Amino acid sequence: MNISMYQASVPVFIRMMHNLSGILRKAAAYAEAKKIDPSAVLLDSRLYPDMLPLVRQVQIVSDTAKGAAARLAGMEPPVYEDTETSFTELESRIQKTIAYLESFKPEQIDSSETRTVTVKTHGEDLSYNGLDYLLNSRLPNFYFHVTTAYAILRHCGVEIGKQDYLGKFR
């Protein structure tokens, strides 16, 4: 049995973004229940001073997912302004990204294993074949930022666990 490039990307991104959405809803409820300022205590929190805060972690999750799907399909990804400052705005961004991902058809991404994908990173053009781009760059980056968002919230006391991260299999 073979797995397609579409199966290895779009449904994986969508599932984890749903899980992240659930985690953020729990964080918002936690902030409300504890009567704490979500921005000061959670959204601007980071695991270490040189790491990015929660809000940026979520933005990168969104950018990574939509960028990977678009580039594998041979398209330019949409640009979202990074202006979110609340859980409501982050939820809106996640839902917009999920809707964008759901617009892809398998035939747009399947057979992209050998497609050349070029991305500009830190002013440098990097080229990959589609398979390496997905498996060795985008999926690891995506999971890193989802995990970091989870870890920030867990560190701040939000009552989430492994099942929140893994979610339900759909």
Give tens-digit pLDDT for 118-127: 988 888 999 9
Backbone phi, psi, residue 117, to 5°: -115, 120
- Which domains are seen in the chain, by residue range? 10-104+116-166 (1.20.120.450)
Provide the token pair at 1.
Answer: 């049995």
Question: What is the mean pLDDT of the segment spanning 144-152?
Answer: 98
Provide the token pair at 66.
Answer: 């939509």
Residues 6+ apart with CB under 8 A from 139: 8, 9, 12, 68
What rounded mean pLDDT belongs to the chain? 95
Identify the pLDDT of residue 24: 98
Identify the pLDDT of residue 120: 85
* DSSP 8-state assignment for residue 85: -
Identify the pLDDT of residue 168: 82
Identify the pLDDT of residue 121: 84
pTM here is 0.95
Identify the pLDDT of residue 2: 83
Identify the pLDDT of residue 17: 98
| Whether residue 1 has pLDDT greater than 90 | no
Identify the pLDDT of residue 40: 86
| Whether residue 169 has pLDDT greater than 90 | no
